[in-house]
Every structure is written in structure tokens, then in C-alpha cells.
Amino acid sequence: MLSQCFRVLAAVVLLPSLVWAAPPSGVSAKEPSARPSKEYTIDQFMATTDFEGASFSPDEKKILFSSNGSGIFNAYSVPVKGGTPTPLTQSKTDSTFAVSYFPKDERILYTRDQGGNENSHLYVRGLDGKEKDLTPGDNLKALFAGWKEDDGSAFYVLSNERDARFFDLYKYGAKTYERTLLYQNEGNYMVAGISRDEKWIALGKAQTTADSDIYLYDVAKKEHKHITAHEGIANHSVSEFDPDSTALYFLTDEGSEFSRVVRYVLATGKQEEVERANWDILYTSFSKKGTYRVTAINEDGHTVIRLHNMKAGKQVVLPQIPEGGITSVSFAPSEKRMAFYHVGDRSPSNLYVYEFATGKATRLTHALNPEIDPEDLVDTQVVRFKSFDGLEIPNILFKPHQATPENKSPAIVWVHGGPGGQTRKSYSAMLQYLTNHGYVVLGINNRGSSGYGKTFFTADDQKHGREPLRDCVEAKKYLASLPYVDGSRIGIAGGSYGGYMALAALAFHPDTFNVGVDIFGVSNWLRTLQGMPADWEAFRAALYQEMGDPVKQEQMLKDISPLFHAAKIQKPLLVIQGANDPRVLQAESDDIVAAVKKNNVPVEYVVFPDEGHGFTKTKNEVEAGSRMLQFLDRYLKGSSPAPAN
């Protein structure tokens, strides 16, 4: 699972609003009227603050969250009535992500890795402000797995310290931090849930990226039970146990294109459908006492939230906030209020708290840099074109205000991470920055992207570098058909799997795009698949099925790896890489840069020594964005001076 490009990009990992549908291929998207638009610097765009997570304090007077307001992520708290956030951690080197308040006092849990290497540890900040690593050791990864909700006396942690390949489940005492091993993972499972009575542990097991199962582990009997036996291809993923520990809620697309919510009754084994939509349901979860259940739906590239009052048996009307929609929802223990994030195309994610009794929503954060006028940003459009074989391809289109038939703009096909990610309708500082500087950006959801049904999702299996890449070639044709796009100046860019696609486009369709931008993309699939992180073991077979087996299909993987075809690359290339990336090693970028330079092709290379697979430090996001725009202006727009070096 290759991950997001920058944290500010709406891309999804490599493996582990209103919508608008375009007319047929070749017909342009509806054109918003042109207007003057002020241009902003990358520093101004990255001065916009990212906020993540929400956990209520025990007295419910404050909310814990993460923010990069200091230039790097740290943990903060803010009063539920509004006010200035208070920093609770002050890391200056490694990003720190808040997890949760303790249920009975104001200690907090948070995670931190080392320079983006993804070996995250779980820390506690005591009432005296001192920090303690609860999962010490080298070369291990630890993940918070939830609280013992009935009394808050303990919390659960996943750790691969025993065996780097597998995550075991531990129970930590909330007072002493003494721990007990609850489940030793010997079967290549993924621990996905614990019932509140601790009698059951829900486990996931992947066969392929589109076919997976759920097992229940009986803690007393130490027995596994397979509860999702099926024929054909079907994904099953755990949501959570209900508060009374009577049923397991999970998602499945068995027998359909899209995932729905199903309840498995623990006492009888009966399965009951609970909720469905015409799109994939992303998740469903309960409030602490079970009064509410919230469901998120991936509706044509944007999130739609349904909130159910389980006791009243009806859906709750959510607050209407203009210019976007509600995403993440977190409930206070009392169930009197909830926190949520609101995001729009021109509005970054902001944290709100909602009071059920009054129906009042209070905004707690202000993400967008006040120097930026939202009117200078753009609303995105969902557009579709038909690819080479007639398959309809959905996309997210960013059109600059200044782009007109009389003032045609250069364009970029932007490819998300994955395979299996999705470009979505949401705020993206990087893509808004490029659009603000006159680039039309088409965020393609090529075949293999998630969110459009499992047939579409599996349409790229072992076809990488071929059919999905041809979708990108057709995207270039679609862009060239738009009256405000200069069809002679179109590039391709992306991060992670999207970076691979940019390299593949330059290598396998060398005359199609004018430039390529590769952000920590794979150049040699043999090396990446052979050297995947040890903790991906549970997903190894699925990834091999998706991409190819490096032992059994060596030649096929060489055929689709740009490094072995680098001599064909004749267009300018920018490569951006994090030195600590455990998913796409720096060697992937080093090698492709060296190979393409032999072609006497302009190649620029940026390496960040303190980043991994996804950049979390503002200074690095600024540098990456600046270098990208300079590169595009120089080689695509033709307006930037050559670099001094």
C-alpha cells in the first residue's frame, strides 16, 4: 500500500458537495465564467493549517486534535466553546499525532515515528507534562487499538515486536501501563476489533485486494471461526462490535458492486443486512452508549454522512454548513455532543462541535491562511470521459479562473496513489496552488480506483503499465478537447503509485506528455515487491495478486517497470523523494534519475532527509511545491528561468 503524496493531497495509499457528470468524451466541462484571480505563493498555501482527529476530555470541555500549525504535527487541545488551541506536545523534529484523552483524567496518548520511517511508537503525556514511550524498542511498530469502553480501565495496542511480520494484541492498564498479551497472531491475520466484554476478537484476512474474509477469535476457547465463507470475489471488512457485545457489524460487497453494512449476531451466527447505498459505504460506528450510529458513504468522490438515532429509530438531520460537507464524526462519552470535520473544495478541513440539545454547531479551527481569499480558489467538478475501450473514467477537474478559449492554459493529468486509491472532491492545497498559477488539473480515477464498484476496482489487476496507463493517455486527449486547454502543453504527475504512472507514461508512451513529475513513485517493481516492509506480510499475497509475483512473474514485472525502459524517456522529469521512505525506497528514485540523465534529458531531483512516504513538515511541503511549480513553468509553460545550479 503506497500512500498519499503530500498530506495535503486527496490521494489514497499503495497497497496494506455537488457532483457534475460530463457529456460524452470530447465534450467540454461546463465553464465557470472567467474572472481575475490573485496568485498566491507556495508559502501562503502551506500556511494553511492541517487538523486531524478529535477526542473529548473527560469533562467534555476540551477536544484533543493534531495540527501542523507550528510547521510540524503536534497534539493540541481547544475548548468546546471555542478559543485559542493549547499545544500539548512540542516536537520540532518528528511529527506527533494525537490519539485520545484518557477517559478519567487529562493524560493523553499520541504516536510518533522517526523521520517518516513509519515505525510509530505509542506515547503517553502524563498530568505533569512528562512523556513516556509505552512501546519502547528498535524496529517495531505500535498502533493504538481502542479503549476498554465499559470502564476505561485499559486500552489496547497492536505491536509487531515479537515478529516483525505480524501484529499481536496487548491490553495495557490505564493506571500502571502494565500489559497482558491478549492475542498472539500466528495466522497472518489483521486484528480489527475487540468486543467490549473481551470475549471476541475480530480478525481480517486478505486473499486479494478485492477478496477478504473475517474470522472471530473466541478468547476463552482460543478458537478461530470463519464467519464470511463465500464464493467468488467479495471483500469483508470489520467495522466494530455493538456496545452490548451482541453483534459484529461489518462491511461486505458480496453479491453486489458496492459495500453495505451487515450485522453478525454472535449468539446465533445469523447475518442481517443493516444499511446499503448506491455507492460504497466507507465505515459505520457507534457512540459509546449506542444511542447513535454514524455511517460514511463514498458518493461519487465525496463523503456523505448518515447519522442514525438507534433508540428513536430515525435518521438525525445534520447541521447544514455551506461550501462543503461533513466528514469525520466523533462522539462525546455522554452522547450530548459530537465533533466533526467540515471540508469543501475551497475550504480546508475545520473542526466543529455540535450540541444535540440545541442543534448548534460551533467552529473551533480556522484552517485557511487568512491571506488567501477563497474566491480566488476554484470549485472542482466531477467529469467523465470514455477511454479507449469505451469504459467510462471518472475524474476531478480543477479549472483556473483565468483559463479561457482566448487564454488557453497548460494542463496536468494528476494520478492518485494506490493502486486502488481515489482522487476525491476535497480541499487540496497543492492542487489549488497549481490551479491558482494557471494549470488545469485533471485528477484521474483510472480503472482500478476505489469507489466505483468492484468490477472497476479489479479492472487493473496485473494490467499495470497497460490498460490503466492508457486511461491516462485518453485523459490527455480529453483535456486537449477542452476549449480552454492548450493541448500542446500537457504533463503527467502523481505520488506513490501515481509517481509510477508518471514514469510509466514517459517510458511507454514517450510522445504523449510534455513533462513528468514523479513523487516517490516505483521505478522497479521487482525490488519494491521483494523488499516490502516486514509488517506487510498479511497483505503480501494480495499485493502479489494485484501487481505480480516477483519470483513467478519476473519478466512481466520487468516489462512494466520504467527503470528497465528508461532509455525511452525523452521528456523533462522531476523526481521528489523522502530518504526514510520504507515503502518506495530512495533507490527507486536514485536509479531512475541516474538512468534518465544518460539520455541527456532535463532531470531535477529533490530528496528530503527527514521525510518518508508522505511529507508532514511544512518546510518540505513548501520546497516540494516550489520546485514543482518552477519545473512546470520552465518545461511546460516555458516561463521560468533555469535553475542556478
Mean pLDDT of 218-243: 97
What distance in Å separates the CA atoms of residue 446 and residue 501, rounded to the nearest whole number?
11
pTM: 0.92
Q: What is the pLDDT of residues 452-475, one digit of tens each?
A: 999 999 999 999 999 999 999 999
Q: How many CB atoms lie within 10 A of CB 189?
A: 22
* Fold entry, domain 376-637: Rossmann fold (3.40.50)
Mean pLDDT of 258-266: 98
Mean pLDDT of 302-327: 92
Evaluate whether 50-186 and 376-637 have a shared fold.
no
What distance in Å separates the CA atoms of residue 26 and residue 24, rounded to the nearest whole number?
6
Mean pLDDT across the chain, nearest whole number?
A: 92
Domain ranges of the chain: 50-186, 191-276, 376-637
Q: What is the pLDDT of residues 136-171, one digit of tens each?
A: 999 899 999 999 998 999 999 999 999 999 999 999
> 321 falls in which pLDDT band (50, 70, 90)?
confident
- Which residues, including other chains, have CB under 8 Å from residue 59's CB and lie 6 or more apart? none
Mean pLDDT of 412-437: 96
Q: Phi and psi for 500 in degrees, rounded to 5?
A: -60, -45
**What superfamily would CATH give domain 50-186?**
TolB, C-terminal domain (2.120.10.30)
What pLDDT shows up at residue 447?
98
What distance in Å separates the CA atoms of residue 579 and residue 538, rounded to the nearest whole number?
25
What distance in Å separates the CA atoms of residue 265 and residue 71, rounded to the nearest whole number?
47
Mean pLDDT of 421-436: 97
What distance in Å separates the CA atoms of residue 280 and residue 269, rounded to the nearest whole number?
25
For residues 89 and 107, is the Cβ–Cβ distance under 8 A?
no
Question: Which cell numbers hold the place of 641?
Answer: 528561468
Q: Which of 20-24, 337-341, 397-401, 463-467 has the lowest mean pLDDT?
A: 20-24
SS3 call for 84:
coil
SS3 call for 69:
coil
Question: Which cell numbers hold the place of 295?
Answer: 455511517
**How far separated are the first and last CA of the chain, in Å rounded?**
35
